[in-house]
Chains A and B, each alone.
Chain A
Amino acid sequence: MAVNYSAKEEADGHPSGGVGLSGGGAAGGGGGAVKTRKPDNTAFKQQRLPAWQPILTAGTVLPAFFIIGLIFIPIGIGIFVTSNNIREYEIDYTGTEPSSPCNKCLNVSWDSTPPCTCTIDFTLEHSFESNVFMYYGLSNFYQNHRRYVKSRDDSQLNGDNSSLLNPSKECEPYRTNEDKPIAPCGAIANSMFNDTLELYRLDNDTRIPIPLIKKGIAWWTDKNVKFRNPSGDTNNLTALFQGTTKPVNWPKPVYMLDSEPDNNGFINEDFIVWMRTAALPTFRKLYRLIERKNNFQPTLQAGKYSLDITYNYPVHSFDGRKRMILSTISWMGGKNPFLGIAYITVGSICFFLGVVLLIIHHKYGNRNTSADIPN
């Protein structure tokens, strides 16, 4: 109750007498002996920091809407035009229709010998310039199922020798086969896509094969960091994988995926591309590259082509579909008009809303005077 205003109080607010001392103790230097519990009179502790206090006024919100509308529409148009300039050609070769050349392969099983082959002829209306990418696409294939995604052993795929012979429990039931550990283990590896696609150009009854490049299709970090063969002599992978067996549904073991030593074993690029599980049930994965020859000739001229398929991968049992896609690429990736259309739509809506808000502000906004605030 007693409040002391000592003459010795300085301007920066460090009182020599504290609040709470009784009046009797104020005489003389009573304040100096007891430490004050008041917070310091600094800007931080007294919550006096300089601050920016934005409020939403018409002067900020309306220009923001208009500017965003005006930025988004050209961006959207640019993306849409870029996407439209990408050339893409898709062939569904599942073979469910009786008229399709691959109908005879529809009910093939994974280990049928000799393998079923079919050929599909098609025509490219426009020529494809610059690098062309060949993809295989699958539909209704849920690579994002949780139990499927977990069914792998990253240590084994990284070349860890102890995991090679003792794979992780996550790979069950594809962990061992006849008491031998499976390399690579897991359901993802077991269901690897193994169709072979070859492309020929038809030029007056002669079939000219088109060179397909199989390296450089996987991410650099995947090929060089994530996936490693077990340590040892890379020229003799058969010895490195001693004691393991191939996955149940593979025709050949992992050390016979390719003849070249830097594309064999776990670092085979087709295998790496397959192991990067897709997010959506309809997906495409890079299969081969068709490099451009030179700047004067298109990579794939317009004309007749023929696709030879070795149909090993059965998808009919789960109503899946398979297709081959030829596509060029731009700075924004493959042909995807969604972003372009979304930007144009959002930009137009923003602009329209800006106009609406401007009208509302003009009609109703000026009623906000301070006349009804008593001061």
Chain B
Amino acid sequence: MLFPQLYVPGQQNLYFNKIVFVNCVLHGIYSSLILFFIPYGAMYNSMRSDGKAIADYQSFALVAQTCLLIVVSAQIGLDTAYWTVVNQFFIWGSLSVYFAITFTMYSDGMYLMLTPSFPFVGTARNTLSQPNVWLAIFLSIILCVLPVVGYRFLKTQLKPTPSDKIKEAKKRPPPPSPKRRLRRTSTRRSGYAFSHQHGFGALIMSGRNMRPKSPFATTGTFSPNTTGISVA
């Protein structure tokens, strides 16, 4: 309850209402158009660097789906506010598993084992080795991700939400407190001031930060009795 005004947007349904939904739909429409028309424009009447075909149905599908996967991973990365090891593993792992599965499915071995099910043999190798294709993919990623970044940045500048303000405040170092008197015996008596941050509770209860001269140092508790406190 350090920042009670963080609860207000939830009560006012600010983050999940019809306008937000319409925004999502428009964003989806825009992304779909980009993800189709950028590969379309890049492959229209185009060829590989050795003159052979690149504008065939299988290569076009592969380019579009690679663009899509990378854009979706980037969008998830943008929405992830708290990057732990688990997040890193799953986001980068998804992308690598996509490429691994694609190359496996389009390999010679799978085709020769189950011919009618894997007709895309050779497409991944032949298409993803073209710089043309990677330039088109890079362009689609930037076109899909940058508007989102720009829009969110604009919102934090012009209409910051309470959580944005708090994040900004936390980033700046707190102003230095005026110098206190040199007597600090009272502040070291117990670790109570730090007990609200997580991780310190156990430390406090162990009594390790208590001064040796305090009357209860031998028992390590607040009470002179040897057994624990029971609060009924």
Interface residues of A (CB under 8 A from B): 1-7, 9-13, 17, 23, 26-27, 41, 46, 48-58, 61, 64-65, 68, 72, 75, 79, 131, 133, 137, 143-144, 149, 153-155, 158, 160, 168, 217-222, 225-226, 273, 276-280, 282-286, 289, 327, 329-336, 338-339, 342-343, 346, 350, 353, 357, 360-361, 364-365, 368-370, 372-373, 375
**Inter-chain contacts of B208 with A (CB < 8 A):** 11
Q: How far is the CA of A360 from the CA of B160 in the complex (A)?
A: 13
Q: How far is the CA of A280 from the CA of B202 in the complex (A)?
A: 67
Cβ contacts B113-147/A at 8 Å (1 or 0 each): 00110010110011000111001100100110010
Interchain CB contact under 8 A, A7 and B111: no
Tell whether B153 is near chain A: CB-to-CB under 8 Å. Answer: yes
Q: Interface SS of chain B: helix, strand, loop or mixed?
A: helix
Residue from the list A79, A154, A219, A353 in contact with B116, Cβ < 8 A:
A154
Tell whether B99 is near chain A: CB-to-CB under 8 Å. Answer: no
**Inter-chain contacts of B131 with A (CB < 8 A):** 331-332
Q: How far is the CB of B152 from chain A (nearest CB, A)?
A: 6
Q: How far is the CA of A145 from the CA of B40 in the complex (A)?
A: 17
Residue from the list A131, A153, A160 in contact with B51, Cβ < 8 A:
A131
| B24-32, B76-84, B180-188 - interface stretch | B76-84
Interchain CB contact under 8 A, B82 and A221: no
Q: How far is the CA of A346 from the CA of B147 in the complex (A)?
A: 11
Interface residues of B (CB under 8 A from A): 2-3, 5, 38, 40-61, 81-87, 108, 111-112, 115-116, 119, 121-122, 125-126, 130-132, 135-136, 139, 142-143, 146, 149-150, 152-154, 156-158, 160, 162, 164-169, 171-172, 198-199, 202-203, 205-206, 208, 219-221, 226-232
Q: How far is the CB of B23 from chain A (nearest CB, A)?
A: 17
Q: How far is the CA of A57 from the CA of B172 in the complex (A)?
A: 12
Q: How far is the CA of A131 from the CA of B52 in the complex (A)?
A: 13
Q: How far is the CB of B144 from chain A (nearest CB, A)?
A: 11
Q: How far is the CB of A171 from chain B (nearest CB, A)?
A: 12
**Inter-chain contacts of A144 with B (CB < 8 A):** 57
Interchain CB contact under 8 A, A276 and B153: no
**Inter-chain contacts of B54 with A (CB < 8 A):** 333
Interchain CB contact under 8 A, B150 and A342: no
**Inter-chain contacts of A137 with B (CB < 8 A):** 45
Interface CB pairs A-B, < 8 A, 30: A1-B232, A3-B230, A11-B208, A55-B171, A57-B168, A58-B153, A131-B51, A160-B115, A218-B52, A219-B53, A219-B126, A221-B125, A225-B121, A225-B122, A226-B111, A276-B56, A277-B57, A278-B57, A284-B55, A332-B131, A333-B48, A339-B132, A339-B135, A342-B139, A350-B146, A353-B150, A360-B154, A360-B158, A364-B157, A373-B166
**Inter-chain contacts of B132 with A (CB < 8 A):** 332-333, 336, 339
For A222, give the chain B residue with the smallest CB separation: B122
Most A CB within 10 A of own CB, among B51, B85, B219, B221:
B51
Q: How far is the CA of A137 from the CA of B44 in the complex (A)?
A: 12
**Inter-chain contacts of A346 with B (CB < 8 A):** 139, 142-143
Q: How far is the CA of A75 from the CA of B138 in the complex (A)?
A: 12
Interchain CB contact under 8 A, B53 and A285: yes
Q: How far is the CB of A260 from chain B (nearest CB, A)?
A: 20
Most A CB within 10 A of own CB, among B83, B87, B125:
B83
**Inter-chain contacts of B122 with A (CB < 8 A):** 219-222, 225-226
Q: How far is the CB of B178 from chain A (nearest CB, A)?
A: 16
Q: How far is the CA of A329 from the CA of B130 in the complex (A)?
A: 13
Interchain CB contact under 8 A, A219 and B232: no
Interchain CB contact under 8 A, B49 and A7: no
Answer whether A284 and B45 are a contact pair too, CB < 8 Å, given A49-B86, A221-B108. Answer: yes
**Inter-chain contacts of A57 with B (CB < 8 A):** 168, 171
Q: How far is the CB of A343 from chain B (nearest CB, A)?
A: 6
Most A CB within 10 A of own CB, among B45, B126, B171, B172:
B45
**Minimum-distance CB pairs A-B, first 10:** A221-B122, A370-B169, A279-B60, A338-B41, A49-B84, A334-B47, A133-B51, A52-B83, A279-B57, A61-B153
Interchain CB contact under 8 A, A370 and B53: no
Q: How far is the CA of A282 from the CA of B166 in the complex (A)?
A: 56
Question: Can you add 6 more A-B contacts, CB < 8 Å, to A57-B168, A370-B166?
Answer: A7-B227, A55-B168, A168-B116, A217-B52, A279-B60, A368-B168
Interchain CB contact under 8 A, A11 and B165: no
For B168, give the chain A residue with the smallest CB separation: A368
Answer whether A10 and B206 are a contact pair too, CB < 8 Å, given A48-B198, A53-B81, A331-B131. Answer: yes
Interchain CB contact under 8 A, B198 and A273: no
**Inter-chain contacts of A372 with B (CB < 8 A):** 165
Interchain CB contact under 8 A, A339 and B146: no
